[in-house]
Amino acid sequence: MISKNKSDFFENVYQVVKKIPFGKVTTYGAIAKYLGSAKSARVVGWAMNASHLSNDIPAHRVVNRTGLLTGKKHFFGVNLMKQLLESEGLVIKNDQIHDFKLFFWDPNKELE
DNA sequence: ATTCTGACGTGGG
DNA sequence: CCCCACGCCAGAA
CA of A60 to C1' of C3 (A): 27
Percent of chain A with pLDDT over 90: 59
As a whole number, the mean pLDDT across chain A is: 88
- The answer, yes or no, to whether residue A12 has pLDDT greater than 80, is yes
Q: If you average pLDDT over residues A14-29, what whole number do you get?
A: 94
B1 C1' to A68 CA distance, Å: 37
CA-to-CA distance for A106 and A7, rounded, in angstroms? 24
User: Which tens digits make up the pLDDT trace of A30-67?
Assistant: 999 998 888 889 999 999 988 877 778 999 999 999 99
**Residue (of A40, A25, A3) closest to A92 by Cα position:** A25
Domain A6-106: give its CATH architecture: Orthogonal Bundle (1.10)
Q: What's the length of chain A? A: 112
Which residues face A24 on adjacent strands? none
List protein-proximal bases of chain B (any atom < 7 A from a CB).
Answer: 6-10
Antiparallel, parallel or unpaired: β A62-63 and A96-97: unpaired
**CA dist A43 → A8, A58, A112 (Å):** 12, 17, 22
This prediction's pTM? 0.90
CA distance A56 to A18: 7
A37 touches strand B (CB under 7 A): no
- Interatomic distance A98 CA / C13 C1' (Å): 40
